[in-house]
Amino acid sequence: MIPLSIPELSGKEINYIKECLDSGWVSSTGPYVKLFEERFKEYVGAKFAVAAINGTSALHLALKCAGIGEGDEVIVPSLTFAATVNAIKYLGAEPVFADVSKDTYVLDPNNIEELIGQKTKAILPVHLYGQPVEMDRILEIAGKFGLKVIEDAAQSLGSKYKGKYTGTIGNIGCFSFNGNKLITTGSGGMLVTDDEKIVEYALYLSTQAKDPNYKGLFYHSEVGYNYRMSNINAAMGLAQLEDIERRIQIKNRISGIYDKNLKDIDNIVLPVKKPYCETTFWLYPILVEEGYPLNKLRLMEKLFEFGVETRSFFMPLHLMKPYKHHKHGMMGITEHVSNHGINLPSSIGICEEDLIRICKVLGTV
């Protein structure tokens, strides 16, 4: 079976993790947490970073630090992983779903303004599958209406928009290091920002809101969370981060092979790369359009018979029970893309022959 996306180990993980075990620093107070944060923020070019137990908790912290609370509205795409929207709902805030763009499948800035009202407090763009959102336009709208911008860069580590890493363009950016991501800590996430107040608040909230003014005592001045990454996870993250450039190069080679070998297949739509972006596709996305001999689900079954694991695009959240009562704009592109989109295998360890084999199956059904 050719898997969709499996973790890649650099070899150093075991040494760093052994150091944690030998030293006894296994929880979140260990030195690897700070080191991983330092290196990560340097890598993406942010002033501050806070490592969290997963990407969802990083998003939850980010929204809370941005001042989002009960009854506030946050504009978000419906075509995303549920974690993005759940983080909004944890705070009693309301997601407002906006449609995505036809060629990139990410939040379309043209659909945002009509959804902005008195209660709107933030925009939460998601760089889906590694594809950068049009951040200049998002920032322009946010500036016009006084909104915060929190980027969900869980899937887009390594992608740049106009020379800046995704996740570093808005007020706060959040990453995930889940097992199938570009780099993994097993489970983990990171919040990045240039705002010192936000980073201080995020650190405090993620350590049960233990008040630093009561040195040595356990005084909690509000309800906090246990969201800090452990030293063991951070040790793994550091080893993975040291290998990131090689991984990005391989990801680009993978998408280049798919681009070249799938481009002449009728009714298979390939992802667009904007000339001003450096897009690192986390999972290579294609659309299986009308006119292709099989519909998306039949193609996925066919590929499975040939030993190829694929993944359907996310189902639009605005159609699901926990989210369908929330406001949304037109959702035509979201629904079309979701109905026709699949992701092809994109593991760092995948070999060229396997990629060619996948393309041949797609070209001969």
Ligand X SMILES: Cc1ncc(COP(=O)(O)O)c(C=O)c1O
- In angstroms, the Cα distances linking 250 to 134, 243, 257, 264 are 25, 11, 11, 23
Q: What is the DSSP string of 319-357?
A: GSTTTTTS-B---HHHHHHHHHEEEE---TT--HHHHHH
At its nearest, how many Å lie between ligand X and the CB of residue 280? 14
**Amino acid in position 190:** M
Query: Which of these is catalytic: 181, 251, 321, 327?
Result: 181
Does 231 sit near ligand X (CB under 6 A)?
Answer: no
Q: Pick the closer one to ligand X by CB: 176 or 231.
A: 176
Does 80 sit near ligand X (CB under 6 A)?
Answer: yes
Does 288 sit near ligand X (CB under 6 A)?
Answer: no
- Residues contacting 156, CB < 8 A, separation 6+: 127, 128, 129, 130, 131, 132, 166, 167, 280, 282
Interface mask (CB under 6 A) for ligand X, residues 125-144, using x and -?
-x------------------
At its nearest, how many Å lie between ligand X and the CB of residue 38? 21
Which of these ranges, 25-33, 70-78, 150-158, 300-308, lies near ligand X under the rule CB under 6 A? 150-158
Does 202 sit near ligand X (CB under 6 A)?
Answer: no
Interface mask (CB under 6 A) for ligand X, residues 85-124, using x and -?
----------------------------------------
Chain-centroid distance, C-alpha 249: 19
Q: Pick the closer one to ligand X by CB: 125 or 329.
A: 125
* Kind of pairing between the strands at 73-77 and 120-123: parallel
Do the Cβ atoms of 94 and 73 come closer than 8 Å? Answer: yes
Q: Pick the closer one to ligand X by CB: 137 or 311.
A: 311
* Kind of pairing between the strands at 73-77 and 94-98: parallel
Interface mask (CB under 6 A) for ligand X, residues 39-58, using x and -?
---------------xxx--
Q: Pick the closer one to ligand X by CB: 46 or 191.
A: 191
**Ranges of H-type helices in the chain:** 13-23, 31-44, 55-65, 82-90, 135-145, 196-206, 231-241, 244-262, 296-305, 332-340, 352-364
- In angstroms, the Cα distances linking 221 to 1, 204, 214, 307, 344 are 52, 10, 10, 55, 48
Judged by DSSP in three states, 305 sits in helix
Q: Is 181 a catalytic residue?
A: yes
Does 151 sit near ligand X (CB under 6 A)?
Answer: no
Which of these ranges, 11-19, 136-144, 147-155, 334-342, lies near ligand X under the rule CB under 6 A? 147-155
> In angstroms, rounded to a whole number, what is the distance separating the alpha carbons of residues 251 and 243?
13
Interface mask (CB under 6 A) for ligand X, residues 155-184, using x and -?
x--------------------x-x------
**Which residues here bind ligand X, judged by CB under 6 A?**
54-56, 80-81, 83-84, 126, 152, 154-155, 176, 178, 189
**Could you give the residue numbers annotated as active site?**
181
